[in-house]
Structure 1
Amino acid sequence: MDIRVQSARFDFGAEAGTFAAGHTDAGAVVTFTGIVRRDGGLARMEIEHYPGMTERALEKIAAEAMARFALADCMIVHRHGPMEPGEMIMMVATAARHRADAFAAAEFLMDYLKSRAPFWKKEYDADGAAWVAARDEDEQALGRWSGG
């Protein structure tokens, strides 16, 4: 497992290539990246977190994904600090013997990151700044993994 919380930008292509190259035993590698959208005049976004606590929470959910989906490995890279539209916020990568597990694990991790990971987002536009509230759709998506 490779879990990183960082302010620095990352090279998605390089990260995905290195991850895939290290897993010749896996039949499938799935990657996903989240990008700051330019919604409704968004000028920038700022993400805050508690160092130490955030990494421990991500390590715990990554370990759960590893066991639940029989992964060979997984990676989470998540940025914090100020970001502008078009910048990458985060990425996940999963490696498994079969694609179904790799895809499901990536979705599981993404649903957790959107709903439960200890990050706080503030959006800035011409009218000022506002904290981003939890969305019902994200909570519903996370609910599909309970009891499994």
Structure 2
Amino acid sequence: SDQKTYALVGDGEINEGPIWEGALFAAHHNLKNFMVIVDENGYQAMGRTEDVIKLGSIQAKFESFGFEAFTIDGHDEDAIDSAISQLWVSDSTSPKALIAKTVKGKGVPFMEHNNSWHYTRLDKQSYAQALAAVAGSTS
């Protein structure tokens, strides 16, 4: 089938065994139409990802399992489009991995690199501040 399947995971989430079991399965069965996209923002619910479990190079890990992989700036839409296109046009029978390096809370100064926003709700005031920050960054 030519149908493409995507899985979006976070760098904290890939500390879990089922992620790697799935990666091994995809590589073993040459699932060439499967792409995992990893949001590598350096945080998970319990803190900085590297403080919980050191990951090293996520790209190298996926490549060691037989994936074709790229690491890109996850905030650069052109880089995202280009990498996805390059991975899909490949003649490789391997599954694909795209590691998107991002900044948690990007565009909202009081949220950037602030892990408390992983699980905190916005009140009316912080919502208005966040909306103003995002609106200002798009002009």
Q: Highest Rg: 1 or 2?
A: 2
What is the TM-score with the length of structure 2 in the denominator? 0.30
Q: Which has the higher contact order (CA 8 A, sep 6+)?
A: 1
**In proportion to residue count, which structure has more helix?**
2
**In proportion to residue count, which structure has more strand?**
1
What is the TM-score with the length of structure 1 in the denominator? 0.29
